[in-house]
Chain A
Amino acid sequence: MAATLEAPVVRSGRTRRRRRAVVATTVLAIVVFCQFVLTMMVGDHFVPPVDVMLSAVHLGDDPMTDFIVRDLRLPTAATALGVGLALGIAGVVFQKLLGNPLASPDFVGVSSGASAFAVAAIVISNAGAAVVSASALSGALLTALIIYLLAWRDGISGYRFVLIGIGVSQFMLSIVGYIVSRGDLYEAREAMTWIVGTVGQAGTGELRTLLGALVLIIPVALVLERPLRMLELGDDTAKALGSRVELNRVAMIALSVVLVGFATAVAGPIMFVALIAGPIAQRITGPGGGILAAGLVGAAIVLGADLVAQHLLPTSLPTGVITGIIGAPYLIWLLATVNREGRGG
């Protein structure tokens, strides 16, 4: 091929895409950081941003502020951040992997599977944090495995995966409903976590597990970004380009499922975050955007939803109610347009 050709068009297009994605991702990170700090500022007692940051990194000198910031508000802020990142990343990986905007883990039943197992652990065995996290993780893994096996036919079709996933999701949700209705030790408010999800009452143990998993998994996810860009071309093209399709796919599904499992153990199934984070991130970053941007959008959504749920409304609501209010119209729009463009299959 003509090796002397200059490549101005291609290079400028690529540079432009890259630059836009980098700028947009940076802006997203700044927004998320501001929301994170804001979450620790507001409440019954206002704490100025500088004090929040000093206290959060253990440089504050006022025990009262330290108590409010570190003990009362940091867990909520960290939960919202961690859960949002986890759901955003898991969502976009599923969607790209299966080539279908509906194929997010909350929509196809991975989150409900995690909830069912977590609730079972709490109600039936009165389990501690480690057991709850482990149960949620097993629930997520098991559900994903069931869907994968049922949907497998000489390969995985996104459409079949979504349909089977919705069925499995309904089944798991009915199990959650049943267990919650049987567990009388439960306060109604706590049961609520497992139906709509909220970041307000995370257990410290579950939160540590999630944050630990994120620290390990985010770098792996960024490394898998490249193979993911192959897999979204479909199995044949990806293989023809030398990508190890089966290995990469299993790795990416496993990684997303682990994130969803741990996130659900912390906050319950906060619906729609995984579904909408990826597409919104793509809008913001353009086609060059990636997994990290989707994670940041997820974090922005959960942090924002928590701020609204806690401070802007007369009564405080579970976070999942707010994400539901944002997500449901998007879902309806998506269902309408996907079918119109004939991309449902």
Chain B
Amino acid sequence: MVKDILVVKDLQVWFPMRTGFIQSLVSKEQRWVKAVDGVSFNIKDREIFCLVGESGCGKTTTGKAILRLVEPTGGKVKYYGEGKNTLMKEMLEDAVSKGKVTKEQAAKMMAEGGLDVRALQKGRMKRLRQKMQIIFQDPYESLNPKQSIYDIIAEPLVVNGIGANEAEREKRVVKALDDAGLRPPKDFMWRYPHEVSGGQRQRVGIAGALVLQPEFLVADEPVSMLDVSIRSEILKLMLDLREQKGLAFLFITHDLGVAYVFSDRIGIMYLGKIVELGPTEEVVKQPKHPYTKALISVVPTPDPEMRRDKIILKGERPDPANIPPGCRFHPRCPFVMDICRKEAPKAVFVSEGHWVSCHLETGTPAEPPPEEKKA
């Protein structure tokens, strides 16, 4: 069986809502923007797992919370990549010396458990982030225009104190550029971001993530800003990185087309929760959740046949500060029933590895994702 590299369980990210003075007189109750409100999934070794959903549904916040670039409010994030070993050893040694666990317990935890990302202190989290990197959407804004490409890519090495001297760092930068397909690296190294094309800029972003030799990448809309004609080059680059370096990806996109061709499994997110999750091809060809069905039906297509059965949902961008009771999709659902307004649907498996949260579906209850495997 393929190992997990990451398990996310009941992840919550709630932002406190700032209330006006008048309002604070009326009610003392703190209100929350529930950007991520109980998200669970796992990512296997070398897997590309994709989160898809409308703007504001919590995709980016999920990605950031995994790396603790925003602090989760609740839930678990467990990391199983090779990179966990030294960190976990240190943590367990601490715990043993403080008498919190016995040596035997520690050894057992080391052998079977994942690294509890949320329990890491700052310094260790920073070290873990060398193994878990994030690439952002905008190849224009995320690169400092005043830095040469060399400096941009060497920076994380300097910050993390990696590489004994400049020569060694240069070797790593050259390697990262080469891995990101900017060849020959010497041609690109001394240019500035505005002196390369949009696609090349996105490659610079990827090189910047690769230079620390990560095991796991969060790619947040990495191709959305690029012209269609060069998107698949970047997607293929990421596939190659998976092949050659064994990278696993959390790929975030609002573009179902890209998710379809690129990912192994897909999670459809709505208002802070995953409502359907399964193998990509199955979810796209046999969607079960009404929201998934609607999303797929509205992807523009040149084929008039395909256009007939569009499910165009009314309204837009539901408010994470005001989550409807029952099924959170019910105000927009074309199939809404009485029960949907009262009770949140539980996730059920509709086939192996494919679960849905909707009262219309029946099946064995899913406890997504599967609990940690006991040895």
Do A and B come from the same complex? Answer: no
B residues neighboring A (CB under 8 Å): none
